[in-house]
Structure 1
Amino acid sequence: MSLPGRCARVDGGSASTYRRRMRLDVELRDRRILVGGTPQVLRAGEVHYFRLARDGWRRRLELLLEAGGDTVATYVPWGVHELADGTLDLTGRTRPELDLGAFLDLAAELGLLVFARPGPFQMAELRHEGLPGRIGRDHRDLVPVGWDAAPAPTPDLDVAAPRFLDLTRPWYAAVGEVLRPRLAPNGGPVVAVQLDNEVGMLSWVSNTPVLTEHAVAELRERVVAAPDRRPAAAYPAPDAPLEEWLAAVRSPSPELAPDLRVDLAELHRDRAARYLASLADLAREHGFGDVPLLVNVHGTAADSAAPLPIGISQLQRSWQGAVGGVAGMTAGSDHYVGSLSAAGAAEMHLAHAFLAATLGPDQPLTVLEHECGTGDYGGDLGAHVDPEAVDLKTRLLLAQGARLFNWYLFAGGANWSDPRPGEAQQRIGITGERHGAAAPVTPEGERGPAFASTAASMRAVADLERWAAVWEPEHDALAVGYLPSAFATEHVHPADEAGRALRADLEQHRFGGPRGILPRVLLAEGYRFGAVDLEDHDDDEDGRWPRVVVVGAGRVLDGGVQERLVEHVRAGGGLLLVGDLPELDLRGRPCTALADALGLRRTGEVRSGPRMPCDVRPAGGTTGWAEVTSSRVSALAPPSAPGAEVLAVEATSGKPCAVAVPLGEGSAVVVAADAPLPSGWYRSLVERLGAAPGLHVEGAAPGLVVATTATPEGERFLHLMATSGHPQRVRVSERDASGALMPLLGGRPVELAGRSGTILRLEPVQPDYGTGHRHQTLRGNE
């Protein structure tokens, strides 16, 4: 399993004992990870050395190699390595399992690369989220207070405060002493380092904005520096004492709340970016910043990827920088979506398309916590993830161009007893003594029920690495619009009724329209699509918006985005907006730039009730689809623009709820209803706007996802994933430049068992990379 250029350890483990074979630079370039100049898809498995007896390390790493991994990932927890007396043990002088260098050396000896995650925050079900408990106890100014000066209910800290960075510096210095000589450019195994972990997650899930004195002082500076944005009587006077600002911000008046929601979101996003940039500087200062630095994005919840863009929105400024992306840095997802239903696959696709839309031209998509295991995290048989899920999730993300996977948690371990004065939790972790019972490798070091399926997914990536390390997803002439500001909803004061209403509107529509319908219907209709950041001012100017932009939006939509959408259409583009007609900005103020340009006006709303169904039907008595029941319909005034057309109406009143409007050189379609309209109708809308589906799949049962990728050399691959239990027997055609459908694979059918996938090389002949259900050789186009 060893790769060229890896280092060999010949004795005890100090830096001087290495016999270096080759110094390998690790680069991020053209959305690829290059190790020693060779593109790779890194296959990591998370193994927590500190939760294992030292003589058990080799067994877990050998099982990782057996499974097909080439990289070991691990947290390096500050709060575990810091002893009760405040000193650090990274050499095993007090406990053998704390010898970080020896663990990294063993990985190198076995031919494994290393992905190190030194925090300072780690989460990982560790006491105090992996930090020393003394920080919160001894530095109360770092402990957040939130709304109404209530203390944070989580172990969060004000990480952007200078004091926290000062406290972190000695930790990074000590870690640097171990990591620096073991970086790949220095002849060691460490190829990547993660900065902190899930920044902003604790604040989001608890609706507790960081309103420390330091944070509110920063907010005051920003507001005073931008007087045009400060309401006359809402914020305190610029020269008012900080205590007055603290009181106003922590318990905002109804007059202040609308601006505060937006201003706090901006403040927290800039503070997160500054914090992560400071950590990157510390890593470089202490010698371990010469490999890619990665940012882990949180956000999946309740087996759904729909909340993931909240984390993207919170953190994207950290890897984007001023323009084109921060060199040497990229982002990765952290997902826990269970068994991956057919609807969940569409959510996963869209969430990662949104993440990819924020990455610069050199920044690859990565997956920093790739869920594996049985799913029984509570150990009470209360949950189960089927074994096919890890394979399907891997295939889905490979088709989107992921270059690093970290199967998490690969090996379980133990939370050993570490009693300390004043600590309620007397173990290093919060999950009892056994940790990671759901992992593919059990806490006792045995192959668990999920080992075989996890290994199969790793080996599939290994088999495909030659191509998967460089291929890119192919997209049709459309993209789904990503709206970062629509996901800036993590903090709303409990008494802010207007804010809660705005948040509800955004949550209902921002992730692919009402019901999250757009990614499902686009995939079902054969569209290959990515996403575009509608708030990135450079994207549309650089021509990176495709012909058609599909947007899920309700009554609330940022004014700048409305104006850019108008310009896109006027310049010849197409817009499909599904949800409602926007009429408010993010502060709740009237904003009708898009509606005014299209000559549209919202006249009312009809909601379905127990005795009053709300139905939608095609306009003009057409019979293209049957009348359907909607939970809500917005009535629109008849469009006045020349050439405008009513497409659908509310059945009882006959009032328009879906219209097509020409504007300049392009046209827009607005669907102002929350209704399960037919997927074929949505396809017809996108086609009339100028984007036909690139693929046509004959005979598909529900749950089939189809995609294509291509390498720079022109090698192309067809990806098919049956995400439901339905068996599939399909024929796939592709639309050529003239619009004609040309059969792929010579018109031969492809068969898939339910919950399985395959990747077929279209040209030339190549074996099928299946899941073990069937293996056959299919010929591509000739």
Structure 2
Amino acid sequence: MIAIKDRQILIDGKARMILAGEIHYFRLKREEWQDRISKLKEAGCNAVASYVPWLCHEPFEGQIDLEGKTSPELDLGAFIDLCKDNGLYFFVRPGPFIMAEMKNEGLPFWLYTKHPEIMPPSWDGVSVSTRTVDYLAPAFLQESYHWYSAVMKVIAPRLYTRGGNIIAVQLDNEVGMLSWVTNSPDLTANVLEDFARWLHQQHGPALLKQRYSFDLDNALVRDAALRSPAEEYAASLLHDLGYYMRYRFARYVSILRRYAEEFGVTDVPFIINVHGTDAGRGLTFPIGISQLYEAYTQAPGYIAGSDHYLGELQISNFQDLYLINAFMDAVNRPEQPLTSVEFECGDGDYGGSNGNHYDPSTVDFKARMCVAQGNKLLSYYLFSGGINSLLPEPANDGNNRIAFTGERHGFAAPVNPEGELSYSYWPLARVNKAIAAVADKLAIMHEEHDPLTFAFIPDYYMTESKYPASSRMKEIVQNLEENRGRDAWEMLAKGMLLAGYRFGALDVQNKALDQWSTPVLVVPSARYMDGVLQQKLVDYMQAGGHLLLYGELPLFDLEGRPADTLSRHLGLNPAGSRESTHRYFLSLRAEGWVAPRPEVRSYRAHFYGATRGEVLVRAADTNEACGFDIPLGQGRAIVLSAAYPCDVSLVRAILEELGVRAGLNHHDRSNGIFMTTTATESGERLLHILNLDGFDKEIHITEKEQPLLGGRSLQLRRKEGMMLPLNLSIGAMRIVYSTAEILGRTETALKFRLTQPQDIIAIAGPQKVALSQDYDVELQGGVQIITSLKPAVLSDQLTLYLEA
């Protein structure tokens, strides 16, 4: 039985950690399958994932080959069965869309020839530049039903619940991504007719007439007006079209699930993957969440999985991954665990041209952060490269292959197309083994949080479809983009993490907000914010909540109508803004309780006149105010309305003033350290640490001002991550603390990865640690203190033997 409950993945009633690797069977010779599977097992994975390309299995209409009749490598069932024979779970991804650098994103060529109407026009009636389709076009749904009827016959009998090894099925792939990245919403006649019906359901006749001045029931007029919107209703369309597309994606996913269930796929989770990273950053990732969260929260039985491509995790972007996970958790249903179904691995040389090599710490850091935040499934993409075969019928498109990457595919993978191991294979294997050693604990653990929360506003990311000729749409979207992400992420989120704060996120738009569960709320704010949400924030503060607002105070709702509830209650009146230029060097001066502090440069500031409270930040030369501390009811707001650089001490000072201290501290002035903790309900814990910098550090860690690790200092080597046990039970033994990381355990031995010049392991319990030349054992107050005699730099593994 497969179940998702309490943010866990349960297999036969036991919580599991799933570590999968993507192997494309169709890009390998059949005789190569076992080699790649063996290398995946040796890397510590317990599952295989793969797309199933419709393009390859039905290149000619009506001639579906899923048994390898035309090519041996197309025997999908045989590959899944081979994985089962190797003791591996399977995560199957049958499309219809798969992307994977395939031609037509994995759809057959004949589909477009037979049904040209499924190819959408977009703004101004121009054909979309990608090979996306109208998901709900009757012809596309009919052909998808036909594809599912075939592929699910292979999948259904191999479900884990029927004695097989398939534990999850993905529905489509990155739904809505192609229209977003090209700013080309699907605007077929079918879509616009359905959109008009939806508008009638959402708005009464009088309101609908106010919002749209043309006849929505006249198809000719309507289609032209919606594809080339006038300024008078552009803002209304931005809002309505965004909500409609989310409703449409949810319908599409629901239909695919119904098809799968009709053909016997039941009692396993259906996974929806979420796209959105760009150029090594996660700033746009919440667009994917905004597009799809209605699809994967519409009913039980779904799991959302992130696709993230952030490259190296460094001090410049580590907060992005943390917020990606926090935001996904914020919109998940209570039972849904965090997962990542395209977890970037490999060396980063995606072009195969020696243009990039990630640091070996890359996959290690990202895996450690994700499991620390509660991810229960990581699927490494792409684990093994392969070969793009020739199409059975030439496309005369330059290479005539199934994909556009050339003959070789997956150049950057830990296992290259020829089956050779890259340098990136070994860090992946090492972190997998570290996770596997405590997998039973991680599978039931949750991240511990300090009493503060980062706000997530899904509608702030409903910006993927904007008419290029509309200045109204451009103004709203540009302001949201300026305020929702970069500055707040790089100042507040990064500063909070570097200051030792552990925090989650809250969907403040759709979920309850109260001062008891959320004592301190951090809100990135734009000039536009829904009036209902503004009132919610006011009510929160009046009841005693504390707010840290960064960015602009909202003056309009998300359609540009005046809405200044928040600023009025705070007593802040707009007083202009300034930006730096090559001749004007905007600088900020701290005052009040945040002073003394050096004057700093800024590229933008928004100024307000305060009718009460205390000014905290001013423009250095004009004294215009852009930082405030304002009481409201029983609560309080601290407002920073300027782009302030990441000052960890300032972030800490503000949050402590609002009443929340970081539980963890390391007291290292160089920063560059990420720390958090995970715990079980019974109090077993792991301390997760990343040294993001390329130099060694020595730190002392305290929790609530009490020393951890017996007060011992910790040496952090450059670019090193570790999971250290705190009060962790292993059989009858309990590891009180350890500076070494658990690598494995049996009934008679505990294996550790050493991290220090002299590691210390403190163990309580009835069983005694046997003497050894590799370590000393001393009894202190009923606790066995084991001191390693092996410096980690010379030999990083230590085995403690337990007496019978």
Regarding TM over 0.5, the answer is: yes
Tell me how far 1:437 sits from its aligned partner: 1.6
1:588 to 550, 555, 560: 560
| Corresponding position of 1:79 | 55
Counterparts of 1:711 and 1:591 in 2: how far apart (Å)?
Answer: 44
Q: 3-state SS of the aligned residue for 1:581?
A: coil
Aligned positions of 1:679-694 closer than 5 A: 679-694=648-663
1:315–1:697: structure 2 CA closer, same or farther, 3 Å change rule?
A: same
| Corresponding position of 2:391 | 418
Cα deviation digits, residues 6-25 of structure 1 (max 9, x gap): xxxxxxxxxxxxxxxxxxx0
Tell me how far 1:448 sits from its aligned partner: 2.3
Q: 3-state SS of the aligned residue for 2:271?
A: strand
Counterparts of 2:599 and 2:634 in 1: how far apart (Å)?
Answer: 33
Letter in 2 for 1:407: Y
| Corresponding position of 1:12 | none
| Corresponding position of 1:709 | 678
1:297 to 274, 291, 295: 274
Aligned positions of 1:124-203 closer than 5 A: 124-203=100-179
Counterparts of 2:384 and 2:526 in 1: how far apart (Å)?
Answer: 44
Letter in 1 for 2:585: P
Letter in 1 for 2:212: A
2:615 to 646, 649, 656: 646
Q: 3-state SS of the aligned residue for 1:540?
A: coil
Tell which deviates more after alignment, 629-638 or 204-213: 629-638
Counterparts of 1:341 and 1:37 in 2: how far apart (Å)?
Answer: 38
Counterparts of 1:100 and 1:373 in 2: how far apart (Å)?
Answer: 25
Tell me how far 1:773 sits from its aligned partner: 7.3
| Corresponding position of 1:774 | 755
Counterparts of 2:135 and 2:656 in 1: how far apart (Å)?
Answer: 48
Does the 8 Å CA contact 1:701/1:726 hold for their aligned counterparts? no
| Corresponding position of 2:717 | 753
- Structure 1 residue 551 corresponds to structure 2 residue 523: yes
- Structure 1 residue 205 corresponds to structure 2 residue 181: yes
Aligned positions of 1:69-108 closer than 5 A: 69-108=45-84
Cα deviation digits, residues 574-612 of structure 1 (max 9, x gap): 110001111122112221011112121111112222222
Letter in 2 for 1:261: L
Counterparts of 1:330 and 1:505 in 2: how far apart (Å)?
Answer: 32
Does the 8 Å CA contact 1:709/1:716 hold for their aligned counterparts? yes
Tell me how far 1:488 sits from its aligned partner: 0.7
| Corresponding position of 1:248 | 225
Letter in 2 for 1:237: D
Does the 8 Å CA contact 2:592/2:614 hold for their aligned counterparts? no
Letter in 1 for 2:581: G
Letter in 2 for 1:132: P
| Corresponding position of 2:347 | 374
Letter in 2 for 1:715: E
Tell me how far 1:573 sits from its aligned partner: 0.7
Does the 8 Å CA contact 1:418/1:428 hold for their aligned counterparts? yes
| Corresponding position of 1:13 | none
Q: Tell me, which stretches of 5 or more residues in structure 1 are unaligned? A: 1-24, 736-740
Cα deviation digits, residues 493-541 of structure 1 (max 9, x gap): 111123222212111221264463211000011111110001114x327
1:711–1:594: structure 2 CA closer, same or farther, 3 Å change rule?
A: same
Aligned positions of 1:319-358 closer than 5 A: 319-321=296-298, 326-358=299-331
Counterparts of 1:299 and 1:223 in 2: how far apart (Å)?
Answer: 28
2:251 to 274, 277, 286: 274
Q: Tell me, which stretches of 5 or more residues in structure 2 are unaligned? A: 728-734, 744-752, 765-782, 784-804
Aligned positions of 1:180-579 closer than 5 A: 180-225=156-201, 226-227=203-204, 229-230=207-208, 232=210, 234-239=212-217, 241-321=218-298, 326-420=299-393, 424=397, 426-511=400-485, 513-514=487-488, 516-537=490-511, 539-540=512-513, 545-579=517-551
Cα deviation digits, residues 345-383 of structure 1 (max 9, x gap): 111101110011111111000010111111111111112
Tell which deviates more after alignment, 83-92 or 107-116: 83-92
Counterparts of 2:368 and 2:24 in 1: how far apart (Å)?
Answer: 26
Does the 8 Å CA contact 1:554/1:579 hold for their aligned counterparts? yes
1:372–1:620: structure 2 CA closer, same or farther, 3 Å change rule?
A: closer
- Structure 1 residue 616 corresponds to structure 2 residue 604: no
Q: CA RMSD in A?
A: 1.9
Tell me how far 1:419 sits from its aligned partner: 3.7
Counterparts of 2:320 and 2:12 in 1: how far apart (Å)?
Answer: 35
Cα deviation digits, residues 745-775 of structure 1 (max 9, x gap): 1221111111111111122335522896726
| Corresponding position of 2:635 | 666
Counterparts of 2:618 and 2:647 in 1: how far apart (Å)?
Answer: 15
Tell which deviates more after alignment, 771-780 or 647-656: 771-780
1:622–1:397: structure 2 CA closer, same or farther, 3 Å change rule?
A: closer
1:770–1:502: structure 2 CA closer, same or farther, 3 Å change rule?
A: farther
Letter in 1 for 2:725: R
Counterparts of 2:469 and 2:363 in 1: how far apart (Å)?
Answer: 42
Tell me how far 1:468 sits from its aligned partner: 0.7
Tell which deviates more after alignment, 194-203 or 645-654: 645-654
Letter in 2 for 1:271: R
Tell me how far 1:649 sits from its aligned partner: 1.4
1:178–1:219: structure 2 CA closer, same or farther, 3 Å change rule?
A: same
Letter in 2 for 1:466: D
Tell me how far 1:147 sits from its aligned partner: 0.7
Does the 8 Å CA contact 1:700/1:730 hold for their aligned counterparts? no
Counterparts of 1:650 and 1:405 in 2: how far apart (Å)?
Answer: 47
- Structure 1 residue 68 corresponds to structure 2 residue 44: yes
Counterparts of 1:517 and 1:216 in 2: how far apart (Å)?
Answer: 42
Tell me how far 1:664 sits from its aligned partner: 1.5
Does the 8 Å CA contact 2:282/2:324 hold for their aligned counterparts? yes
Tell me how far 1:233 sits from its aligned partner: 6.8
1:304–1:770: structure 2 CA closer, same or farther, 3 Å change rule?
A: farther
Does the 8 Å CA contact 1:757/1:770 hold for their aligned counterparts? no
Letter in 2 for 1:753: R
Cα deviation digits, residues 12-59 of structure 1 (max 9, x gap): xxxxxxxxxxxxx01101100011111111010000011111111111
| Corresponding position of 2:697 | 728
Does the 8 Å CA contact 1:700/1:728 hold for their aligned counterparts? no
Q: 3-state SS of the aligned residue for 1:480?
A: strand
| Corresponding position of 1:20 | none
Tell me how far 1:423 sits from its aligned partner: 5.8
Letter in 1 for 2:101: E
1:773–1:370: structure 2 CA closer, same or farther, 3 Å change rule?
A: farther
Letter in 1 for 2:273: N
1:67–1:600: structure 2 CA closer, same or farther, 3 Å change rule?
A: same
Letter in 1 for 2:86: L
Does the 8 Å CA contact 1:615/1:651 hold for their aligned counterparts? yes
Counterparts of 1:532 and 1:51 in 2: how far apart (Å)?
Answer: 42
2:24 to 26, 48, 51: 48
Tell me how far 1:544 sits from its aligned partner: 8.0
Does the 8 Å CA contact 1:31/1:363 hold for their aligned counterparts? yes
Tell me how far 1:162 sits from its aligned partner: 3.5
Letter in 1 for 2:32: G
Tell me how far 1:702 sits from its aligned partner: 2.9
